[in-house]
Every structure is written in structure tokens, then in C-alpha cells.
Amino acid sequence: MKEFYADLHIHIGRTASGRSVKITGSRTLTLTNILKTATSRKGLDLIGIIDCHSPEVLMELGELVRKNEMIELPGGGLRYGDTTLIPGSEIELYDQYCHGPIHVLAYFPYLEKMELFSEWMSLHVKNIHLSSQRIYVEGRELQTKVHELGGLFVPAHVFTPFKSLYGKGVQSSLNEVFDAEQIDAIELGLSSDTHMVERIEELQQYPFLTNSDAHSLGKIAREYQKVRLEEPSFNELKKALNKQDGRMIVANYGLNPLLGKYYQTVCAKCGGQIEKEEAPCPHCGGSTFIKGVSTRIQELSGEELSPIDRPPYIHQVPLDFIPGLGPKTFDRLLQAFGTEMAILHEVTREQLAAIVPEKLAVWIDKARKGELSITHGGGGKYGKVEDE
């Protein structure tokens, strides 16, 4: 049994032909660039690309397999270099039972299953080529189809104010939209962590995922998890989510929620952060607010619950958030130590100081320990690391 690093929510911006998939994604966020970045720069063992339903993406994957540049694993997933890709899809739901939109993730073991899901999905969306498209079926029907094909079903970034299960403040329970028995995990999102949600009773039964939701190559692995598996594959990941046969999520690594774009409630007019939703806004007199994740979680939380055995949630500041760590310095670190995972988990402060100035080495060390001072984010703007 070994430990592996996994980021299971990565978008594709463009196909090889230049066709848009995730419209808000970077043009350089192509399948090939993601694979190269994940294996050689980030040091990820397992990635989930969640736009694999797009026909051109499926064609690219098939071509890589035919060229033997990727290998389909017997246990599910496709191996490229040192990284296993789990094909997946992000889907937008807005059925008669929810007041969405709600984003969900579906993952499949083999290209054949992903192709079958894409064919089925194309009957229920307006544009199968694009990411995060609205599907015109009910949530429970979608869950059933995913599991019929041997897939995993995960509600995405469940507390963000837009396009999430709890975010708009209308749904108070996942049972209003989904079959609770057909949920395999919950993705927390960038503005929350395990500690914040420990008093939401209906989430107690699910494992938590922390993923990047990357829209650019640099954002890959800003959140991820360490998993204990026999090998990085779909079947092993499924066992880890069920804590089966010694497989498990060992640790979640994520932003301090204060850095998240939606942690604090803000005025929609001026962007000023506020402690409570008041009318008018104390900063500008506005009366419309974007509710912060921290406030929404408080609304959903009940009485203190008996603690359950969960992996630790380790706050990290992504390396590209650190003031003074520019591209050239970053490249020097990668040349010296290989990958971002090595920099974050293996290299000592003394080794860092041999490559970069001592002050920056101290900052990097504090960033990976979650010890930097932070200004709250909110209203779509990230928090910031304060320059000491």
C-alpha cells in the first residue's frame, strides 16, 4: 500500500483543434498540457478531468491510447507517465425539485463507459461539446444513470454562493434533490474545510474531497488529497472513498478558507465585507448581498455532534499566492526539487534556503504549514497573504 496525491476536478479550456470546452478556462488548458503539467510539474499521481464527455476530448483520449501514449488500466483510469487520469464530467442540474443551478461531478472507470455516458447525456443537453452544461433530467435519474455505468457521483463545491447544492440558501437538505444513498462523496470547495462543516448532520456519512476546480494550468493542485491505495486507479479510488480494505483518504490539503473567493458575506454593489446581512450596507447603502460560505454553513449547522474519524484537513497556501515567488524563482525551485508536491511535502527549509533567499524560504515553509497571515476573501475575490 502506498500514498498518492490526487486532484479530481480539473477543467479543459480548449481541445487540440482550438474548440472551447470550458469557456472561462485558459486557452492553454488543453488535455496534453494538463497531462504534462500534472505528471512533470505538479507531481500528481491521480487526476480527474471533468470535461471528458466532450466528443473532441474523447477523440483525443482515444488517439493517445491508440498511440500507446496512454494505457487503459484494468482497474480503471488511463495512465500517462506517472499520472492516472480518471475520466469525468461536470454537469449542471436544475430540475423540478431544486432551485439551482447545482453542479455535480461524475467519474467513470473506462473510456467505453465515458463514451456511453456522453451519448446518453447528449440527448438531454443543448451542447454536449461544452463543460458544465445544464441537463434536462431529474437529479435522481442522473444519479441512477451514473451508477448504472459503474460511475461515482459527487455534488461539487457544495457551499459556494452560485451553482451549488446549498449555496443559494434555498435547499436545506441534499434529500430535497438527491437520493442520499447514491452519493459517493462531497466536494467541499475552496471557501470551506472539514472543521467548518462538522455540525451538518447529513454530511457525516460521506467522505470529503478537496479539489482545485482548476481553470488554468497554474491552479491545478491548489487543493488536493493524499490517498492510500495499492495503485492509482479508479477501483482503488472507489475503495478509498468507502474506507475499504485499508484504502482511505489520508489527508485533505486545501486553502485556508479565509483565502477562498466566497468566504465572507459582501455587498453586491460595493464589495464591502460585512458581518451580517443588513439593509442598507454600512459602506454604500446597498441592499443586495452575496452570502459568504461561512454564513451559509452556520445557517445549516445544528447542535454539536459526536466527532467522527476523519482525515486531517491541512491548510496550505498555494505557492503561487506567496508574495515574491515569481515565475523565474518558481522554475529554479522546480529544477532543484522536481515537482510542487516535492516542494510542499519533502524539501526542508534549509534546502529551500539554498535555492531562494532565506526570507522566501521561511514564507514557503509557513505557507505549507498554514501559518501565514491572511485577509479574508469574499464576493468572488480571493483573500490575500499579508506581507509581513
pLDDT digits (tens, 9 = 90+) for 293-314: 998 999 999 988 888 889 999 9
> What percent of the chain stands above pLDDT 90?
73
pLDDT of residue 287: 81
CA–CA separation, 202 and 387 (whole Å)? 40
What fold, for 2-255?
TIM Barrel (3.20.20)
Helix (H, G, I), strand (E, B) or coil at 5: strand
> What percent of the chain stands above pLDDT 70?
99
pLDDT of residue 161: 87
pLDDT of residue 388: 58
- Tell whether omega for the bond before 280 is within 30 degrees of 0, i.e. cis: yes
Residue written as grid cell 452570502: 291
Helix (H, G, I), strand (E, B) or coil at 300: helix
pLDDT of residue 377: 77
pLDDT digits (tens, 9 = 90+) for 220-264: 999 999 999 999 999 999 999 999 999 999 999 998 888 888 888
Residues in the chain: 388
Please state, rounded to an integer, the average pLDDT across all residues of the chain: 93
Question: pLDDT grade, residue 280 (50/70/90)?
Answer: confident
CA–CA separation, 287 and 168 (whole Å)? 17
Q: Give the pLDDT mean for 99-103.
A: 88
Q: Give the pLDDT mean for 51-64.
A: 98
C-beta separation of 283 from 270 below 8 A = yes
Question: pLDDT grade, residue 207 (50/70/90)?
Answer: very high
Calculate the alpha carbon distances from 309 to 145, 194, 195, 200, 206 in Å: 31, 11, 12, 15, 11
Q: Is the pLDDT of residue 387 over 70?
A: no
Q: Is the pLDDT of residue 265 over 90?
A: no
Cell representation of residue 116: 456511453
Calculate the alpha carbon distances from 60 to 12, 28, 71, 81, 367 in Å: 12, 15, 13, 16, 37
pLDDT digits (tens, 9 = 90+) for 323-336: 888 999 999 999 99
Amino acid (one-letter) located at 215: H
Residue written as grid cell 508536491: 341
Say which residue, 321 or 53, is predicted with more confidence.
53
C-beta separation of 16 from 31 below 8 A = yes
Q: Which of 127-141, 247-261, 272-286 has the highest mean pLDDT?
A: 127-141
pLDDT digits (tens, 9 = 90+) for 336-357: 999 999 999 999 999 999 999 9
Question: pLDDT grade, residue 320 (50/70/90)?
Answer: confident
Q: Give the pLDDT mean for 95-124.
A: 94
Q: Is the pLDDT of residue 276 over 90?
A: no
pLDDT of residue 318: 86
pLDDT digits (tens, 9 = 90+) for 149-181: 999 999 999 999 889 999 876 778 999 999 999
Q: For the chain, which residues make up each domain, given as ranges?
A: 2-255, 319-369
The bridge status of strand 71-72 relative to strand 78-80 is antiparallel
Q: Is the pLDDT of residue 104 over 80?
A: yes
Lowest mean pLDDT among 58-62, 183-187, 358-362: 358-362
